[in-house]
Amino acid sequence: MADQVTFPELARQIGEAARTVMDEIRPRLVEAALSGDSGERANTRHAGNLLTSHDLWAHNRYRQLIAQLLPAGFVYASEEADPEVIGDDPDPDLCVLVDPLDTSELAVRALHGYTHILVYSRSMRRPVAAVVGDIYHHVQLYTAARQDDGTDRASLVTRDGETHLMHCGNRTTELTQALVTNYLMRPAERFRPLAAQDGFLTALSSPSPDGTSRGRIGVDFGSVSLCHVAAGFTDAVLEFAKGFAIWDLAPGHYVLHAAGGTTLTLDGATLPLDHGLTTLADIAKAMAPRQTFIAAASPQLARQILSTLRSR
């Protein structure tokens, strides 16, 4: 199928699959919120992460839908299960990485819920398509795809079908005027370490040239946080305390890359698109580590933030 359809068309089809899953799961999540029954399950693979019956349902639904799009075969690597080869090809090129329901603890409260899909070419050693879906908001899909000329392009799609290209362009917001987000929900693991970053918070709070304090810290979630930077809704994302797993970071990282943004490690290096997803063993191994990073609309802002961090 990958030989018969372009990667932009594949991204569009993956986006339709995400719309299907979101439309089908949304009523289930609202019912969970109203009833107070989250459908929680024991999570034996990732201790500390909330796992619900809705995560497992979406995992199986994506497996079914993507198998229809890629009948020649693919490696299915979901947060909810070990990587497996789907289809007749014992060694398919494409690996589809899925986080079927991100921010589950908020999704079952009908507050925030997201879904992530990344299509990775093992031969090219890079992503070729990605979709990040927003279950509850008007801007519904953030997509990226490798074009026929070898470039990458990012766009967003609203619930009513409007499509807008995303490009960071020459956005060079200074830290004193930036909206920087962080996944600060866990009190001990994330909020307390953020509150201890005095240098960063002081720099963010410093007056702008007109004397007003315009810098802001906000909360955001997983891959969608990088998509928000790509769209210009926020200016940067900082994750230094615990790090994101590959399924939380890679789809949004590719969307931001395609939009011309910057993602740095805390050593100041550009975060690569090559995730080393070569063999099944490599793919399984990639599920375990967590990556700290700074993602921003411009390299200047990313490095300004980096310069303020303590004990990076």
pLDDT in tens, the chain (312 residues): 344 679 999 999 999 999 999 999 999 999 999 999 987 765 555 656 678 999 999 999 999 999 999 999 999 999 888 999 999 999 999 999 999 999 999 999 999 999 999 999 999 999 999 999 999 999 999 999 999 999 999 999 999 999 999 999 878 889 999 999 999 999 999 999 999 999 999 999 999 888 889 999 999 999 999 999 999 999 999 999 999 999 999 999 999 999 999 999 999 999 999 999 999 899 999 998 999 999 999 999 999 999 999 764
CATH 3.40.190.80 in the chain: give the residue spans.
Answer: 175-308
Do the Cβ atoms of 292 and 265 come closer than 8 Å? yes
pLDDT of residue 211: 87
pLDDT of residue 294: 98
Residue listed under structure tokens 């698109």: 273
Strand order in the sheet with 94-102: 84-86, 74-78, 94-102, 114-121, 126-134, 139-146, 152-158, 163-166
CATH 3.30.540.10 in the chain: give the residue spans.
Answer: 7-166
CATH number, span 7-166: 3.30.540.10
Residue listed under structure tokens 């799609």: 157
Do the Cβ atoms of 225 and 255 come closer than 8 Å? no
Q: Look at phi and psi of residue 72 and say left if phi exceeds 0, alpha if psi is from -120 to 50, else beta.
A: alpha
- d(Cα 77, Cα 97) in Å, to the nearest integer? 5
* Backbone φ and ψ of 135, nearest 5°: -70, -35
Determine which helix (DSSP H) or strand (DSSP E) holds 97, and give its type and residue range: strand 94-102
The torsion angle over the Cα atoms of residues 235, 141, 256 and 74, rounded to 10 degrees, is: 150
**Cα Rg of the chain (Å, integer):** 19
Q: At what angle do helices 198-205 and 299-308 cross, to 10 degrees?
A: 130
Report domain 175-308's class.
alpha beta
Do the Cβ atoms of 165 and 154 come closer than 8 Å? yes
* Backbone φ and ψ of 296, nearest 5°: -150, 165
Extract the tokens encoding 56. Answer: 């497992």
Residue listed under structure tokens 């960071």: 168
- d(Cα 101, Cα 54) in Å, to the nearest integer? 8
Determine which helix (DSSP H) or strand (DSSP E) holds 153, and give its type and residue range: strand 152-158
pLDDT of residue 165: 97
Extract the tokens encoding 24. Answer: 């089908």
pLDDT of residue 210: 85
pLDDT of residue 41: 61
